[in-house]
Amino acid sequence: MDALRIEGGARLEGRVKISGSKNAVLPILCATLLAPGNYRFDNVPLLRDVTTLCSLLRTLGVRSSREGETLLIDSTAAVPNEAHYDLVRTMRASVYVLGPLLARFGHARVSLPGGCAWGPRPIDLHLKAMEALGATIRLDHGTIDAAGAPLHGGEIDFPISSVGATGNAVMAAVLAEGETVIRNAAREPEINAVCDFLTDMGAKIKGIGESELTIEGVSELHPADHVVIPDRIEAGTYLVAGAITGGDLHLQGIEESHLTATIEAIQRTGSQIETEGEGIRIRAGSEISPVRFETRPYPGFATDMQAQLMTLLLLARGTSEIVETIFPDRFKHVPELARMGGDIRVEGNRAVVEGVSSLTGAPVMASDLRASAALVLAGLVAGGTTEVTRVYHIDRGYERIEEKLAGLGARIWRVTQA
Ligand code: UD1
């Protein structure tokens, strides 16, 4: 099993190219089930989650081939086979095949994903949305069995904003008969990207980027080519890498407007962030100021950046407070950061961070994707050696992280453990 070994203390400097967005490309690839044919995707990140999804799509008759950052998909022979537990359990985003399969074939069988490292993560809202479009849902030995041919337009009122449920609902509604209105729709850039892609395929969606979406179902869609938007979470992680190492980094290939909340939070800690050329430049401040922040649906501060910003605040001069409103249990990184000298107290969905003057390297274990990014960030600045094990979590969502960080001056290596 691979681990990342980091010798802390290097100041990061230089340019880094941000990859395509994991959370945008996953639903978008599932949308190819909606119309048979050939698709070309550019700026596709080389990530384990993308490979896993291509494996899942292969079991549904969809072929893919890759050349660098270009992914070619042929969904001509797509079939509504069951999405099996062995793939779904490794990646919750697999549930995104539900809406497209149901809309196109009138039937879908998708294994129920189950919990994840930081909590139960239900999919009830996905299922309610399918029911609102006329589907009948049955749970059959751990597998969701959804039927409804054809789907019809409906009213979907989400009680809370859900990225996944919104994506699934939109992908089902585009081929339903009649009009669908989705209220309290997620407004994350990744959802807008899905809607833009569906529009290019011939879907009729009004209100993209707003919390109410109106979809006029069409009888048929057609393939389209697509360039994946930049990954705002990877970008935010590199901003923290710059801030925590006292560095000076230039991030390229980003969409600055997607990063507003992250930039604002990191600026409040004392770093300078400015637009420069076609990217942004971060220059770390001389010290880190404590801040209070809470995670919120977009355009608020992303839960996927919570662990990384917490790592920066470990070294702030004073007390910071973090409130996690999206996933109240998402604090798996806390005990590992504490092993490196972090002083963090968790009370319910709130974490209080008392700044310390330094961190020390230690063997630590990655528990999930963003938690592992937080451990790598802590390792960059900790005295001595940090070894982050179970690095497969980080490979799910960060492309060539050790190469990118080493290119900026970090002392980081991938090691294979017996
Ligand atoms: C997506 C992202 C994930 C990110 C999260 C929140 C992908 C592949 N994953 O996950 O990286 O952390 O958005 O920005 O894009 N909920 C329900 N019932 C449901 C669905 C969700 O109660 O059926 C709740 C969740 O428990 C959570 C909240 O809704 O409290 C938001 O979750 P959601 O936006 O759905 O997260 P995901 O789409 O799973």
**Domain map (residue ranges) of the chain:** 2-19+230-416, 22-227
Average confidence (pLDDT) over 120-141: 93
The pLDDT score that the predictor gives to residue 367 is 87
Residue nearest atom 3 in ligand 1 by C-alpha distance: 304
Percent of the chain with pLDDT over 90: 93
Residue nearest atom 17 in ligand 1 by C-alpha distance: 122
CA 297 to ligand 1: nearest atom: 14
CA 298 to ligand 1: nearest atom: 14
* pLDDT above 80: residue 34: yes
Average confidence (pLDDT) over 8-36: 98
For the entire predicted model, the pTM comes to 0.97
* pLDDT above 70: residue 118: no
* Ligand 1 pocket residues where CB is under 6 Å: 23, 26, 92-93, 121-126, 160, 162-165, 186, 190, 302-304, 326-327
CATH superfamily of 2-19+230-416: Enolpyruvate transferase domain (3.65.10.10)
Do 2-19+230-416 and 22-227 fold alike per CATH? yes
pLDDT tens-digit map of 43-70: 999 999 999 999 999 999 999 999 999 9
CA 120 to ligand 1: nearest atom: 26
CATH superfamily of 22-227: Enolpyruvate transferase domain (3.65.10.10)
When the pLDDT of each residue in the chain is averaged and rounded to a whole number, the result is 96
Q: Which of 90, 130, 163 to mutate to test the pocket of ligand 1 (most atoms within 8 A of CB)?
A: 163
Average confidence (pLDDT) over 24-45: 98
- Active site includes 116? yes
* pLDDT above 80: residue 40: yes
**SS3 string of the chain?**
CEEEEEECCCCCEEEEECCECHHHHHHHHHHHHHCCCEEEEECCCCCHHHHHHHHHHHHCCCEEEEECCEEEEECCCCCCCCECHHHHCCCHHHHHHHHHHHHHHCEEEEECCCCECCECCCCHHHHHHHHHCCCEEEEECCEEEEECCCCECCEEECCCCCHHHHHHHHHHHCCCECEEEEECCCCCHHHHHHHHHHHHCCCEEECCCCCEEEEECCCCCCCCCEECCECHHHHHHHHHHHHHCCCEEEEECCCHHHHHHHHHHHHHCCCEEEEECCEEEEECCCCCCCCEEEECCCCCECHHHHHHHHHHHCCCCCEEEEEECCCCCCCCHHHHHHHCCCEEEEECCEEEEECCCCCECCEEECCCHHHHHHHHHHHHHCECEEEEECCHHHHHHCCCHHHHHHHCCCEEEEEECC
